[in-house]
Amino acid sequence: MGRAMTTWLVTRHSGTYGWATSQGMKFDRIITHVVPERIADMINPGDEVYGNLPLYLIAAICERGGRYFQLDMKVPESKRGEDMPEQDIEQLKPQFNEYRVERCL
């Protein structure tokens, strides 16, 4: 019998978690970062990963058979890197969009 799918949220920002859960999303695991060397131990086929990650990590997740959903929103330069409250995030019209990334050799 296979392992159940795991839904991951990768964020350092409490406002992102607050906004996502206010949209009815539920996560099995919430982590602040992904260690590239541990992806093979973490991600299984069918797992869903939500966050804002660099391409090489997204590619590694996809190579493992995981699905990746990027938090897309237009953050003003003055707000980049800040932990915005969920009300500020909501004003930026955020949405999770699925991306598939493949590393080209």
In a domain, 14, yes or no: no
Q: What is the mean pLDDT of residues 86-96?
A: 92
Q: Residue 66: its pLDDT value, please?
A: 97
In a domain, 38, yes or no: no
Burial (CB count within 10 angstroms: exposed 0-12, middle 13-18, buried 19+), residue 41: exposed
The pTM is what?
0.91
Q: Which domain holds residue 74?
A: 52-81+89-105
Q: Residue 2: its pLDDT value, please?
A: 57
In a domain, 6, yes or no: no
- pLDDT tens digits for range 23-81: 999 999 999 999 999 999 999 999 999 999 999 999 999 999 999 999 999 988 888 87
Domain tally for the chain?
1
* pLDDT band, residue 83 (cuts 50/70/90): confident
